[in-house]
Chain A
Amino acid sequence: MSQNSPYDHDDKKLTPKQEIELFHSIENDVDTSITQTSKLAGWINDRLPIIASLENTLKKHPYPKNLSYWWNFGSIAGIALVIQILSGLFLAMHYVPNTQHAFDSVEHIMRDVNYGWLIRYIHAVGASMFFVALYAHIIRGLYYGSYKAPREILWWIGIIIFLLTMATAFMGYVLPWGQMSFWGATVITNLFSAIPVIGKSIVEWLWGGYSVDNPTLNRFFVLHFLMPFLIVGVVLLHLLALNTAGSNNPTGVPIKTKKDAIPFHPYFTIKDLVGFAVFFLIFGYFLFFYPNALGHPDNYIPANPLVTPTHIVPEWYFLPFYAILRAVPDKLGGVLMMFGAIILLFFLPFLDRSEVRSGAYRPLFKKFFYVFVINFIFLGWLGKSPAEGWYIWASRLTTFYYYAYFLLILPFLPRFEKVLQLPKSVDEHYQESHKKH
């Protein structure tokens, strides 16, 4: 019943502060003196120390040498963000944010603008790809305990990026002004009407009218254009926090010596490029063969405020949360449970009480974690099924598990769990795992 120690008797768990100090005491043995070899670089660097900080990040900073491919999704999400900003910029040159012209201007992009079809499909498929990368990145963090001290703020910034991205994606989906655009916007903005007393005023403020209409479309376009740049800013904070607390790794054991570490360049630059290649292959497959597979056909019908489509569904990446909304038979309750499902992630660093960071050394946790992932995918499937019959009960059960995982399992599991012995160092784990061959 009592928790066994995952550490050898001569080895102790470091405090978060010690861990950060240790991380900053390690420096890779690499020649990083561009500023000394190049006169121009030195001149610039004396006035604006960007070259030195880039050198620090790419060469001096230690990165655990045992990072797996699960650590590729951060940079993949980054490149996806860049692709969205660039393709969106060119779309904005042709798009008209007016209810009378929006739908037609999108068709104009598709039919008349040179390569307009390509740019629009890159943007539409790219949104889905961005979310694939984000979800993979988050699942990685959940499994390897990347949210635990000293990386709480890093994790929180990540959730803020997730929320901002969801808001941006939602507003982007409204812009083509199809049936799903209009009714999606109506349903989602109406979520705020569940707030007691001031709900109605808030919704009318969001709309700039008494229904989703031209003022709504216009401001959504402006915000959809602005927010990606805010996301870039928050991503920079995310990286700053990463360079302060250091990367987690599959063992969850902090890097302690030079032997545990390698520089980012060239090792992870090259590995990230491999990740990009695979990512672009999948991206290209959807882009060129099934560009509409991840969208909804009803969005090719112009918006009609008088007719609601018989079956409203959000984009696939919102489905699990939409299922939670529908699982609750009360308006305010449903809205709270849906937003709560994401807000809960902020508390994760305090909810998970296990002193072992990585799920790889927690046999019992692993089982609950896999069930959690399957449960989440099942929630998504329920989100696109009609809200009737056994589906309702299934979504209530899955919603319960989603919450129980965070509020019951993570806090109380450590009391019953027999954890495995952690490797003494990243290096030890690395040598072990490479001995087999």
Chain B
Amino acid sequence: MDRRSMLSRVFKPHPYSPGVAKFTNAVLRTQDNKEVRFYDDLIKGKQCVINMMYAECHGACPLVTTVLKRTYRDLKDRMGKDLFFYSISVKPQDDTPAALKHYAKMRNADLPGWYFLTGDAYDIETIRFRLFNMGHPGIDLDFAMHSGTFRIINDATNYWGHAGAFASQKNIMDRIAWADPYKSPAEWDVYARNLKAAIDKDVKKYGYRRDV
């Protein structure tokens, strides 16, 4: 398969993805000061995990970054290929690309497929609302509200999911997998075989299906 067809396969959006209308196509900057368009370059046809943070945050953000780094390690083979992490600054006025680069480097998180993003404050506020709003002004107006949540999106299947950063690591992996591209029947066969083996093992060990 040539590169072009691979790309078109992997990054094909779902026909009824809400697209730019929902995600916006705001121009953001990465930690490498590269301009990217939010929908076209980051979301379209891709599976991604998104969190809101800021560099000077001493509360949840560094903890969440650590969790993402751990998650990155487990998903290394997919990162930057069909899976991406986006950490979006909620204090873009302070977080220049250089500041984010510094933040990422300091935490060994300056990795392929993981973008730290800054941009216009209005644009980012819009994106935060579009991705995380709970329809409750008391919550939605407080930018700290979603610091512990990952938004998991797969634009190829139009899947919106989420994960709690402090849940078990297996739970986070599960939730990212729940948003995976649709499997082919052959892939489901393999999945089912593995699941069956795991259930049998579990029942033998604990007397009931417990861990899978």
**Is chain B a partner of chain A in the same complex?**
no
Binding site for B on A (CB under 8 A): none
